[in-house]
Structure 1
Amino acid sequence: MTPPRIVLASDEVHLWFVSLQGSAEQRAIAHALLDEAEQTQAARFHFDRDRFRFIFAHAALRRVLARVLEVAPPSLRFTKGPAGKPSIASATPAPLHFNLSHAHEYALIGLSRDYPIGVDLEWSGRDVEYNDIVSRFFSTIEKQAWAALAPSEFPTAFFRAWTRKEAYVKARGAGLGHASENYSVDFSPAGAGGLIADELDPTAPDRFQLHPIVAPDGYNAAWSAEVTRAKAMRVTLHKTLI
């Protein structure tokens, strides 16, 4: 059965959490959806676990995009921007923006019809040198907020902050060219999770939305899009991909 088409309105963001677990048969089907470049990239992973997760994540992205564009998943071709952010290479009837993040056993896919979007997913089970990363990559505002925390709050606060910072810079498509110590996000427990300031782009807090996402247990996630804060966006969160 062909999955139903996904129709995106201008004021909508669609988000998917996708499990990266599957049988050998499911993995073979997913692998067949990838193009030669993706298959080559998958083959470079040293560990089977990482290779299989890459295959499932990128096949899931193709399936989602195919449902929007009404094309076969293997027919999609991608290109990359100056900072490496992928986009669809072939012409489409309307703009379509997407982003993919994967961590441990899940992937997160974000779609927007008209607005550049970024998503980030992090697994809180990995070892992190919190204070070292904060000192190197957090802004002055964020360091002040971090200093006010109790050590017991570090793990939760760090991943709240990191997913939001990553989602924002991915929405910009700027990569490492937009240094993370120059912009600040709200990662307080009671905060809205938005962009507070960007020294490199002072108008950005009014031009970008940034929001946390309710993620599976053990994960943190966020999405951002270049759409004015005044515009109300409807968010649809899909827990599984069918």
Structure 2
Amino acid sequence: MTDPVVRFEPVDRHADAGLLTAYELGRRDRLVRATDRAAYVAAHVLVRRCVAELTGLRLADIRISQVCPTCGVEPGHGVPLVSGHPDLQISLSHSRHHVAAAAAMAPIGIDVETIDEHGRQDVVEAALSAAEQAWVRAQPDPHRAFLRLWVRKEAWIKCGNASLDDLAAIDVLSEDAAAPDHTAFQEWSIPDAVGAWTAVERQPRVDLWSVDATRPRISADHRDATHRPARRTRTGPGVPNLRGTPHD
């Protein structure tokens, strides 16, 4: 099986919006802030680049749509897909300053968050298990620690393993929460942003734009957790919207 392609990049404010469909452009135009509109376009162009690298398709021939598995409406809300290529799986995410995207031949999920605001305690309590909350409180930067867990949970949801209603029940710190058919969570981190992805079975080629991107240690005993499987399990910048859609 072909390895997935995974990318984390800064927002390209010159990304070619002409590659997007009319539906995508309509969603972009409903965003209030110019920075959010730029990030939306950058993420949707980046996921096309990932698909092109994976498959050899031309960027102009890649049509991204969304189909809700419940109502079946297309285009609409729901999981993003590549029209005409049902075996392809994609995932994308955008914050105000950073975007992420992935393409694979099996389920994959990715998320990125910019660290530019302080979180609220009620959001932490709604999103994290008791053990995760305790871990966050013990960290020197609790907001960053929270977002490192948040991006893992979002990636897990986007991979099709849970819903937003399951957030607090998903323990991404647990040592024994193995999912043997998935890769372990992989983390991406720079001073002002964090990201994570997970996929079924295979490791991706990762193209990181930061020369100092790291994979932080996250377990309580400080062993490297980035290669350890976690239980199966978007948001704008700052505090995530718990009721929002996990698919960008």
TM-score range, shorter chain: 0.7 to 0.9
> Is the 1:13–1:235 contact (alpha carbons within 8 Å) kept by the matching residues of 2?
yes
Q: Aligned partners of 2:149, 2:161: CA distance in 1, in Å?
A: 19
- In structure 2, the partner of 1:235 is 204
Q: What is the number of equivalent residue pairs in this alignment?
A: 201
Shift of 1:111: 2.3
- In structure 2, the partner of 1:128 is 119
Shift of 1:207: 3.5
- In structure 2, the partner of 1:89 is 83
- In structure 2, the partner of 1:59 is 45
> Is the 2:11–2:97 contact (alpha carbons within 8 Å) kept by the matching residues of 1?
yes
- Note the 1:1-242 alignment, pairs <5 A: 9-10=1-2, 12-22=3-13, 26-27=14-15, 30-77=16-63, 78-82=65-69, 84-91=78-85, 95-113=87-105, 115-129=106-120, 131-146=121-136, 149=138, 152-172=140-160, 174-176=162-164, 178-186=165-173, 197=177, 205-227=179-201, 233-240=202-209
Shift of 1:85: 1.4
Shift of 1:162: 0.9
Letter in 1 for 2:168: E
- In structure 1, the partner of 2:215 is none
Shift of 1:170: 1.1
Letter in 1 for 2:118: D
Q: TM-score, normalising length from structure 1?
A: 0.72
Report which stretch shifted further, 204-213 or 215-224. 204-213
Q: TM-score, normalising length from structure 2?
A: 0.70
Shift of 1:117: 0.5
> Is the 2:48–2:62 contact (alpha carbons within 8 Å) kept by the matching residues of 1?
yes
Shift of 1:119: 0.6
Q: Aligned partners of 1:122, 1:195: CA distance in 2, in Å?
A: 24
SS of alignment partner, residue 205 of structure 1: coil
Q: After superposition, what is the alpha-carbon deviation per residue over 1:183-218, rounded to whole angstroms, capped at 9, x for unaligned? A: 1002xxxxxxx7854xxxxxx733433323233331
SS of alignment partner, residue 8 of structure 2: strand
Q: Aligned partners of 1:105, 1:41: CA distance in 2, in Å?
A: 19
Higher share in helix: 1
> Is the 1:81–1:173 contact (alpha carbons within 8 Å) kept by the matching residues of 2?
no
Structure 1 or 2, whichever has the larger Rg, is 1
Higher share in strand: 1
> Is the 2:112–2:196 contact (alpha carbons within 8 Å) kept by the matching residues of 1?
yes
> Is the 1:185–1:196 contact (alpha carbons within 8 Å) kept by the matching residues of 2?
no
